[in-house]
Structure 1
C-alpha cells in the first residue's frame, strides 16, 4: 500500500486521514508494510507499519535485471470497484493481457508513432492499467498521466491540457463528460483542440446528450468518437466502433466486436438468439487473450460469476441489443432492469430520456419495492449549474418527457434532485447503494470503501427521508 499526501490534505484533515488509514490497517493483517510519500513536506503522524517511501527508494539500486516469465504467469491483481457487490481480486496473466492491451490501444484509437495520447483515468483502475500504462507503453507511445479531477482548478482542465500538450487521442468516462457538460461550453471553446483526432469513452453507457456534446462541442464534429465496452475481467476493449473502414459512419450507440471477440446474445433458456434487431444477455463465445485467469484465492467464485450462468460462454452481466445492421448497443447491467407492472424496463433507457432535458446534467435510475406495481421507478437527478427554474417544475417536465419518449409505466414514482451520486474513483455509479437508500435499507448499504466521496451517501439518505416524510 502506498499513501501520498498532497496540498489538498493539511493539518487536522491529514490527521483524520491517518486515523482512518490506521484503523483500516489494524483490521488488515495481510498488510505488511505501508510506504508513505511526503510530497509537500508536511509532517505525517506515523503508524508502526509506515516506511518513508523516498528513503526506501534512495537505498535501492537503479538497476533491475528483467525476470523471465511464462506466458500465463500472473502479471497483476486488480480489485473490481464493487459497484454491484463485494470486491473481487482479478488476476491477469502476462502475454495475453499485454497483447490485447497493445492491439486495442493501436487500432481502436488509431494510434500512430509520434502521437500524444492521453487516458485521464486513475492508474489504479483497469482503464488506467490497460490504456495509461501497458497498452501505450507496449506501442512505444507518449502516454500522459493525469492527476486529480477534471474540474480543478476549473472545468477547462482537460481542454487546457489538450491545447498545451497537443493531445491527439483522449480517453475518459461518461460521468466526467456529464460533469463537464454541467458547466456549459465556455470552458471547452476557450482552448484550441485542433490536435484531437480520436475521442474515447468508457465506463457506462454514454447517453445521447453527452455523446452529442462530446462529438459536436469537444470534437467540433470532425473527430472519431469511440464509445468502448469492456470490463476489468476482459482486460481491454472488446466492442467499439473502431477499427472499421475509415469512411464508415460513427453514430451514437452502434459498436462492433474487436479482433478475436465473438459476442453472442442469449435468451433465458441459455440459447443463442439468431438474426438482427434482437436483445438478450451479452456473452462471449470463445476465450480471448486478455481474459482474466481467476479471482485471487477463490477460483470457484470466478467460475460461478462468469462461466456458470451460461455454460460454454463468458457471461458479462450486461444486456445488449443487436440492431438491423448487426451492430451492438449496450443496454446496461442485467440487474438494472426493472419490472413495472409486468413491463421489463431498462434503467438506461429512462436515464437517456431524462438526460435530454436542458436543465439536467446526470440521472441515475433504479427500482424500488412497490406494493401495487411490484417495482417502482426512482430517479436521482443532478441539475446543471445556474438553473433557476423551480425544482417542482423540472420534475413535472421530466415525468412528461419520460411518458412521451417511452410510456406511462416508465414515469418515475419519485424524482430526487441531488448535488451528487455515490461513485467509485473510476466514475462508476454504485447503484446498489441507490437501491438500498430508496428502499429504506440504510443499515445494509454494504461495502462503501471504493467510493470517491462517501459523504454523498449521508446527503442522499437525508434528502430521501425528507422527501418521503412529505408523502
Structure 2
C-alpha cells in the first residue's frame, strides 16, 4: 500500500504541505499561505488566511471552465412520477436567482437560514444560495416533529425559513406548513420570513410573513458570490434526537471544500463528469457532503432521488436508477441492502438492468454485517466498500481508498484510517492499546480539515463533549480495535445513541417522552439488534402505583407520543411493562447490561447492582422480546 502509506504519513507528519497541496485544486479569492492555525488549541482552524466562496467552487467555476452544459443534478422522483436534469449553467442560474430572493428578504453574510424541505432540487438550490451569499444554512430533516424543529429555530435564530408545502412518502403526503407553524408557536425566536415552495400534492395556506417561492423567483435579481473567510461557517447540522439545547455541528467553508474534493476523488474514485448517486437525504450529513457539495465541487453529476428505493414490490429501484443515469458508484446504508435481500434474495432484479457503468458500492451509517456484505458482493460482482464516519467529521474517518490505492476488503471492517485522521485505540486511562485489543476509538488532535471546528455558539460544550475525556484526543464515542494489518474494526457505540437505519438517535430523548406519560413511573430505552435496520429502540416502563391501564393501550399511546415528539424516524414500536428496572446502588439504570441480554449475551450480574432479583425477572423479557 505504497501510495496510501505515503499519503497517510505525509498527512500526519507534514499537514501543512499535504493540505496546502490539496487546497490548490480549488478557486480562492485569496489563496491560503498557511494550512493549520493552532494558536487557540484545542480549537483548531484550517486555512486561516484563505478566502473563497463555496458556491463558486461548486457551480460558477465549472460553468467558466467549459462544463456549463454538463449535467450537474439529476432529479428522479418515483413518488411524483417526475424527472429533471439541471446542467451546471441551469443550476447556477437557479441558485443565483434564489440567492437574490434571500438577499431581498434581508439575508446577508453570516445570517442563518433553516431549510425544511424534502428531496427536491429546490432544497439543493436553497443550500447553495445560502453559500453564495455567505449565509449559514441549517437543514432540518423533514421527518422531525414541531418540538424538534423549534429547538433548532431557537438555537440557530434564522432570519428566514425555507420550506416546501409538503413531503411525499410512499403511502402518504406529509404537510410541512402546519408543522412549521406549530414549531414557531413553541419558539422564542421568530424568523422574518418563511419561503414556501408550493407542491401540487398539498398546497399550503400562506400567512402574513410567508413568501411564495415561485412568485419571489419571478421578480428576483440574481446575486453574485460573496467571498468569505475559509474559517467562516458554511452550515450548522444538528445531531439527531438531542434533548434540551441541541448540539449544532459547525462546518466551515475552506476546510470543508478542500476535504470533500479530496475525499470524493481519493476515496470514492469519482472524477469530473462521473455520475455519483448517494441514496440518502439532504437532511443528514451524508446528503450534505455527498449529494450536494462534494460531487458539485469536483465537477461530477449527482443524483437526487425522492422516495424510498427499496421495498415491495419494487426491489429493482436501485438498479433502475443506476442503469438509467449511468451511475459509476452508489453510496447508501446497509439497511437498504438488507431490505433488498429480504425482498429479492436471489438477486433476480439485478439481471434485468444494464449495470455496465457501475463500479463500486459504498456502504456506511452503521456496521455492515458480513452476510449482507457477501450477498451484495456475490450478486453485483463489484467491490462492496464499508466505510466509517460521523456527523461531526463530515467525511470518512476510515475507508478503502478506491481512488488513491484500492486495498483488499475485509468483511466487518471499514478498512484503514483516511489520511488526516490519526486513529488510536485507548483504554480507560488514555493509554494506547496494542493491536487486536478492544478499546475506545479516539482521534489524535488536530482533526483534519472539513471536520467540526466547534459547536454552534458553544466552544465549551464542544470541548466538554468531545475533547475532555482524553487529553489531546477527539473521542468518537465508538469502540473497536485495529488488527495486525492496520484495519480498524468499529464494534458499536459506547454511549446511549443508537443507530436506526443509519440515523443516530438518542435513547435519552425517547425516555423523556415515555416519562412524560401520566401512567409511567420510570422507564428505559435501549437499542437492540435488528436484521433490517441495524438497531431498533425497545422501551421498558414501570407503572405508577394504583394506575390501571391495559398494556396495549399504553403501548399505543407511548408509540404515538414518540412519533409526535421525535418523529417516525425513531421507528419506536416496542414497549414492555415491567415491575422494575435494574439499577446500581447509586440509582443508575443498567442499560448496558440490558442491551447485552437483549442481544443474546450471557451478561453477569454487575457487582454494583442494587437488587439482582430485578434483573433476573427482566431476563426472560429481554431475551424473548415480549
1:199 to 361, 364, 372: 361
1:172 maps onto 2:286 in alignment: no
Aligned 8 A contact 2:261 2:294 in 1: yes
The 5-angstrom pairing of residues 276-355 of structure 1 reads: 276-287=435-446, 288-335=448-495
Which of 61, 85, 90 in structure 1 is aligned with 2:249?
Answer: 90
Contact map agreement 2:173 2:201 (CA 8 A) in 1 = no
Q: Hey, what's the Cα distance between the residues in 2 that align with 1:309 and 1:58?
A: 53
CA contact (8 A) 1:295 1:301 kept: yes
In the alignment, is the contact (CA less than 8 A) between 1:228 and 1:240 conserved in 2?
Answer: yes
Q: Are the counterparts in 2 of residues 226 and 242 from structure 1 also a CA contact under 8 Å?
A: no
Q: Deviations over 1:383-436 (max 9, x none)?
A: 8xxxxxxxxxxxxxxxxxxxxxxxxxxxxxxxxxxxxx7xxxxxx85x6xx25x
Q: What secondary structure is seen at the aligned counterpart in 2 of 1:205?
A: coil
> What SS does structure 2 have at the residue aligned with 1:182?
helix
- Which of 254, 261, 271 is 1:102 aligned to? 261
Match of 2:377 in 1: 215
Distance 1:74 1:327 in 2: 33
Q: Does structure 2 conserve the Cα–Cα contact (< 8 Å) formed by 1:81 and 1:450?
A: no
CA distance in 1, matches of 2:349, 2:440: 40
Q: Where do residues 106-117 of structure 1 align in structure 2 (5 Å cutoff)?
A: 106-117=265-276
| 1:34 and 2:194 correspond | yes
Displacement of 1:380 after TM fit? Answer: 5.8
| Residue number among 28, 45, 52 corresponding to 2:205 in the alignment | 45
C-alpha deviation, 1:246, in angstroms: 4.8
> Matched residues in 2 for 1:277 and 1:73: separation?
41
Return the alpha-carbon distance in structure 1 between the equivalents of residues 370 and 196 of structure 2: 43
3-state SS, counterpart of residue 187 of structure 1: helix
Instruction: Describe the shift of the 1:44–1:336 C-alpha distance in structure 2 as closer, same or farther (beyond 3 A).
Output: closer
Instruction: Please tell me whether the aligned partners of residues 268 and 401 of structure 2 are also in contact (alpha carbons under 8 angstroms).
Output: yes
Matched, 1:55 2:157: no
Match of 1:357 in 2: none
The match for 2:225 is: 66
Partners of 1:271 and 1:305 in 2: CA distance = 20
Counterpart of 1:401 in structure 2 is none
Deviation at 1:226, TM superposition (A): 2.0
Post-superposition CA distance 1:68-89 (Å, at most 9, x none): 2111111111111237997311
- 1:438 matched to which residue of 2? 540
Q: TM-score, normalised by structure 1?
A: 0.71
CA contact (8 A) 2:273 2:299 kept: no
Are 1:24 and 2:183 matched, yes or no? yes
Asked whether the equivalents of residues 541 and 575 of structure 2 are also in contact (C-alpha less than 8 Å), the reply is no
CA distance in 2, matches of 1:286, 1:232: 17
CA contact (8 A) 1:75 1:92 kept: yes
Superposed displacement of residue 58, structure 1: 2.1
Partner Cα distance (1:464, 1:144) in 2? 47
Larger radius of gyration: 2
Residues 1:464 and 1:43: Cα distance change in structure 2 (over 3 Å): farther
CA distance in 1, matches of 2:270, 2:335: 24
SS of the equivalent of 1:335 reads coil
Normalised by the length of structure 2, the TM-score is 0.55
The partner residue of 1:268 within 413, 428, 435 is: 428
Change beyond 3 A, Cα 1:196–1:68: same
- Count of equivalent residues: 382
Q: 1:378 to 1:108 in 2, by over 3 A?
A: closer
